[in-house]
Amino acid sequence: MNILLFGPPGAGKGTQSALLVEKNGFAHISTGDILRAAIKNKTSLGIKAKETIDRGDLVSDEIVTGLVDEVVDTLENKSFILDGFPRTVVQAENLDKLLKNKSKKVDKAIFLDVEKDFLVKRLSGRRVCKNCGASYHVDAMPTKVEGVCDKCGGETYQRKDDSVEAIEKRLEVYESSTAPLKDFYENKGILVKVPGLGSMDEVYNRLNEVVSS
Ligand code: AP5
């Protein structure tokens, strides 16, 4: 089964994808992670995308579609989770076409539903490992030693786009560009809404039921 996880910034897509990879064996395709790796490695894509991402805008549909197309080719028949792609209706249409060309499809489009007040708290408290990308939260999931990743000992930092201004921008962009995907996938009959509030394990259990049914 191939799924996509979508929802507002901070809904828990990355956190839940990591659990679904670990416990259910999915491959994880995160356009946000791919773009951040490109920025870290100062590739031409990273240099081009950095400013756009830091201010909370979207990278072009064409670029992100190309990235996903390349990664899907490496997965052979492994089930995958798309996290953070598609984020616009154009991307969703592109995804349909590219998967059809590879005789694949998305089976469930899972909308992770979290209200705005919680999103701001989650995003402003997020800390990420510079080295391995593991994600933490200062209250909900702190590192054992402040500033040090539990998994690899790397230094944790706050993403530039987790500043208050960039969070506001990302929420606006989400409402105008990504929220319409709910109708897009409802019309296709594959939309599943999952409440994203509660502990990380509670949310995982809800998702596990959806992917196991
Ligand atoms: P991306 O990295 O995809 O950012 P996002 O969608 O804004 O999502 P986030 O990573 O901010 O949140 P999340 O839902 O994964 O939450 P998380 O699990 O970390 O994209 C970044 C940028 O790249 C975009 O703004 C854009 O510029 C560009 N980009 C990427 N894809 C693109 C595309 N397709 N098209 C164009 N541009 C694209 O959780 C957040 C925090 O909450 C963490 O601290 C976590 O520990 C905590 N938390 C999680 N779950 C819980 C819980 N149940 N209870 C308490 N705390 C929790």
Greatest alpha-carbon span in the chain: 47
How many structural domains does the chain have? 1
Give the model's pLDDT for residue 144.
97
**Does residue 213 have a pLDDT over 90?**
no
CA distance 153 to 149: 5
Whether the upstream peptide bond of residue 8 has omega within 30° of 0, thus cis, is no
- Full domain range(s) for residue 139: 3-26+79-212
Among 13, 36, 122, 127, which one carries the catalytic annotation? 13
CA distance 134 to 129: 5
Asked if residue 104 belongs to a domain, the reply is: yes
User: Does the active-site annotation cover 13?
Assistant: yes
- Looking from the CA of residue 11, the nearest atom of ligand 1 is 14
Tell me the per-residue pLDDT of 39-80, one tens digit each, with 9 for 90 and over. Answer: 999 999 999 999 999 999 999 999 999 999 999 999 988 999
Residue 109: how many CB atoms within 10 A of its CB?
A: 23
CATH code for the domain of 117: 3.40.50.300
User: Does the active-site annotation cover 55?
Assistant: no
CA distance 57 to 49: 10
Q: What is the pTM of this model?
A: 0.94
Asked if residue 164 belongs to a domain, the reply is: yes
